[in-house]
């Protein structure tokens, strides 16, 4: 199986080959705090590889994250076409197809006007993560800095987490990142730009099956009773979803006490990542580990359905407000539904 060059009129499914754009600049905030309240000390961002360190002359070179011939092992992906023991309720014959597009990404945050992505390559030696991209229209633009996870509000305002756990928020006016208080491992943004949830950086107890789940309360982080490794928030704030270290999936609906949530275990699936549409449809990558990642499932209220498309496997998932689903494989393979997903 080879990646295809798309002829779809949809701009987001065009060939992901681009010129790397932008330059780096320095943040003038030099403090970061663990959501637990533990300071990591005064840090001059310029003294260590952070979100916006690195050479200013990134130039106009073709970026290695979107080379015309990705360095992915498609022979491994072909093994998926030979899998025949599918026992779950599955769908694909009459459903929207996923298209394997050129490029490699590690994380993705679709929004109403485009997509944010974490690339496959490091932007410079010693960077605290990987290249950060924004696709505000039909083409990708390289943004300053480095990160490992990204979350975005539907308006396009993004938050990122870098390898050392530092949190940054995108400033459209400054065209740069602003260092925020707190440390985290994953991040999600809900119905407004400040409805932000993070998976913390330090475990509260060594026996916990994940890290603390926090929400932003004005300018400070509040610890909840949840523990996880990945997080998603329904855009209308009806519920928060987390995955923990055992791949268990939980849902909590706000009940007036944000710090003491009632977490509902989802017994029928295991997951490594989760995303939620505006209409409440939940998407996960989970279940058995196959070549290039885990299987893709969704639940639109009628139970979990396995999307049985050869090659479609992932370790990271995201969905836009209008239902376009992105799945990223272990190899960095990028799968995008050809329009809002429907069955």
Q: What is the pLDDT of residues 290-338, one digit of tens each?
A: 999 999 999 999 899 999 999 999 999 999 988 999 999 999 999 999 8
Residue of 106, 112, 157, 167 whose CA lies nearest to 137 = 112
Domain boundaries, the chain: 11-337
Q: How far apart are CA 208 and CA 211, in angstroms?
A: 7
Please give the pLDDT value at position 194.
Answer: 83
pLDDT(271) > 90:
yes
- Report how far residue 313's alpha carbon sits from residue 295's, in angstroms, rounded to the nearest whole number: 5
Question: Within 13 A of 212's CA, how many CA atoms are on the CB side?
Answer: 21
115 sits in which H/E element: strand 114-119
Four-point Cα dihedral 131, 132, 137, 138, nearest 10: 20
pLDDT, residue 305, reads 94
Which of the two residues, 334 and 54, has the higher pLDDT score?
Answer: 334
DSSP β-ladder status, 90-91 and 304-307: parallel
- Confidence (pLDDT) at 93: 56
Domain covering 11-337 in this structure, CATH number: 2.120.10.30
């Amino acid at each position: 199986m080879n990646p295809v060059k798309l002829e779809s009129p949809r701009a987001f499914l065009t060939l992901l080959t681009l010129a790397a754009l932008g330059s780096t600049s320095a943040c003038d905030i030099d403090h970061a705090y663990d959501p637990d309240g533990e300071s990591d000390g005064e840090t001059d961002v310029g003294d260590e590889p952070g979100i916006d360190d690195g050479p200013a002359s990134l130039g106009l070179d073709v970026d290695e994250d979107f080379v015309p011939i990705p360095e992915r092992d498609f022979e491994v992906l072909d093994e998926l076409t030979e899998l025949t023991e599918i026992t779950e309720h599955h769908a694909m014959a009459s459903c929207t197809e996923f298209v394997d597009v050129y490029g490699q990404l590690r994380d993705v945050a679709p929004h109403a006007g485009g997509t944010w992505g974490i690339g496959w390559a490091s932007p410079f030696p010693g960077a605290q993560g990987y290249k950060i991209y924004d696709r505000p229209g039909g083409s990708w633009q390289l943004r300053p800095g480095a990160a490992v996870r990204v979350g975005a509000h539907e308006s396009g305002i993004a938050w990122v987490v870098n390898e050392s756990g530092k949190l940054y928020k995108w400033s459209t006016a400054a065209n740069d990142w602003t260092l925020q208080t707190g440390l985290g491992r994953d991040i999600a943004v809900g119905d407004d730009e400040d409805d932000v949830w993070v998976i913390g950086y330090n475990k509260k107890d060594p026996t916990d099956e994940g890290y603390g789940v926090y929400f932003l309360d004005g300018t400070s982080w509040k610890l909840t009773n949840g523990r996880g490794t990945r997080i998603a928030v329904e855009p209308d704030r009806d519920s928060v979803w987390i995955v923990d270290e055992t791949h268990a999936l939980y849902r909590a609906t706000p009940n007036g006490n944000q710090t003491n949530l009632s977490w509902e275990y989802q017994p029928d699936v295991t997951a490594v990542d989760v995303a939620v549409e505006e209409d409440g449809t939940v998407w996960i990558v989970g279940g058995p580990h196959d070549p290039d990642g885990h299987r893709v499932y969704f639940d639109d209220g009628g139970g979990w359905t396995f999307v049985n498309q050869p090659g479609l496997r992932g370790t990271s998932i995201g969905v836009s407000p209008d239902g376009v689903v992105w799945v990223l494989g272990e190899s960095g393979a990028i799968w995008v539904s050809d329009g809002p997903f429907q069955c």
